Structure 1
Amino acid sequence: MSEQMHHPYAPSQPPGQPPNQPPNEAQYEGQNQAQPPYAPLAGPGHPYPYPAPGQVWNQAGQQPFGAPPRQRNGLAVTAIVMSAVALLASLGVVAFIAVGVAGGGSGVLTGQVAPAGGAVSSGVLVPALTTVIEDDGGSVEQVSCPDSSAVGQGLVTVCHGSVDGFDWTGIVVFEDSSGTFTLQEL
Structure 2
Amino acid sequence: MSHPSNPYGPPQPQPAQLVHPAQAAQPHPYPAPGQVWSQPVMPPYGAPPRQRNGLAIAAIAISVVSLLASLGVVGFIAVSSAADPSWVLQGEVRPAGSAVSAADLESALTKLVEDDGGSVDEIVCPGSSAVGQGLVAVCHGSVDGFDWTGLVVFEDESGTFTVNQL
TM-score by length of 2: 0.69
Find out whether 1:59 has 2:45 as its counterpart. no
Find out whether 1:98 has 2:76 as its counterpart. no
Find out whether 1:116 has 2:96 as its counterpart. yes
Gaps of 5+ in 2: 1-30
TM-score by length of 1: 0.63
Secondary structure in structure 1 of the residue aligned to 2:59: helix
In the alignment, which residue of structure 2 is the partner of 1:184? 164
Deviation of the 1:116 alpha carbon: 2.1
Deviation of the 1:147 alpha carbon: 0.6
Structure 1 moving runs of 4+ over 4 Å: none
Paired residues, number: 135
Find out whether 1:161 has 2:144 as its counterpart. no
Q: Quickly say closer, same or farther: Cα 1:60–1:109, change in 2 above 3 A.
A: closer
Gaps of 5+ in 1: 1-30, 40-57
Of the structure 1 ranges 87-96 and 68-77, higher mean CA displacement relative to structure 2 is found in 68-77
Deviation of the 1:76 alpha carbon: 1.7
Of the structure 1 ranges 66-75 and 161-170, higher mean CA displacement relative to structure 2 is found in 66-75
Deviation of the 1:64 alpha carbon: 6.3
Percent identity, aligned pairs only, is 46
Structure 1 residues 104-145: Cα deviation after superposition (integer angstroms, max 9, x where no partner): x11211110111222111121111111111111211121110
Secondary structure in structure 1 of the residue aligned to 2:90: strand
Deviation of the 1:81 alpha carbon: 1.8
Of the three residues 64, 68, 71, the one matched with 1:83 is 64
Higher normalized contact order (CA 8 Å, seq sep 6+, divided by chain length)? 2
In the alignment, which residue of structure 1 is the partner of 2:50? 69
Deviation of the 1:179 alpha carbon: 0.6
Pairing of 1:43-54 with structure 2 (within 5 A): none
In the alignment, which residue of structure 1 is the partner of 2:130? 150
Q: Quickly say closer, same or farther: Cα 1:113–1:64, change in 2 above 3 A.
A: closer
